[in-house]
Amino acid sequence: MSQCTLVYAFYDGAKPVQGIKSLPAADCEPEPGGLARALFSLRRQFLHIDPSPSLQLIVELQQVLAPPDALRVRVRVRVRVR
């Protein structure tokens, strides 16, 4: 089974709002074509961030732990704000 880890940070313009944070590793579910999908739950991490029109969320795929035969990695991040 593959796992991946994301890190993220909030910026107000070019100024960091807080430090870089890491999410716990998430299991990846196999998809057709040798790809995989991982779902992260982030609501708790964002409760203490004040809204601002200039606020940016930067997300980076930090690590992928995969079996040797899983060589293809495609990253797509979707953010849903409620």
Span 8-27, pLDDT tens digits: 888 988 899 888 988 888 88
Say whether pLDDT at 72 is over 60. Answer: no
Pairwise CA distance, residues 8 & 40, whole Å: 12
Highest mean pLDDT among 17-26, 36-45, 58-67: 17-26
The tokens of 13 are what?
């313009």
Asked whether 55 and 18 are in contact (CB, 8 A), the reply is no
Position 51 scores a pLDDT of 81
User: With 80 as the cut, is the pLDDT of residue 29 above it?
Assistant: yes
Contacts of 47 (CB under 8 A, 6+ apart): none
How far apart, in whole angstroms, are the C-alpha atoms of residue 58 and residue 56?
6
Q: What's the pLDDT score for residue 52?
A: 83
**Residue 33 and residue 61: Cα distance in Å, rounded?**
20
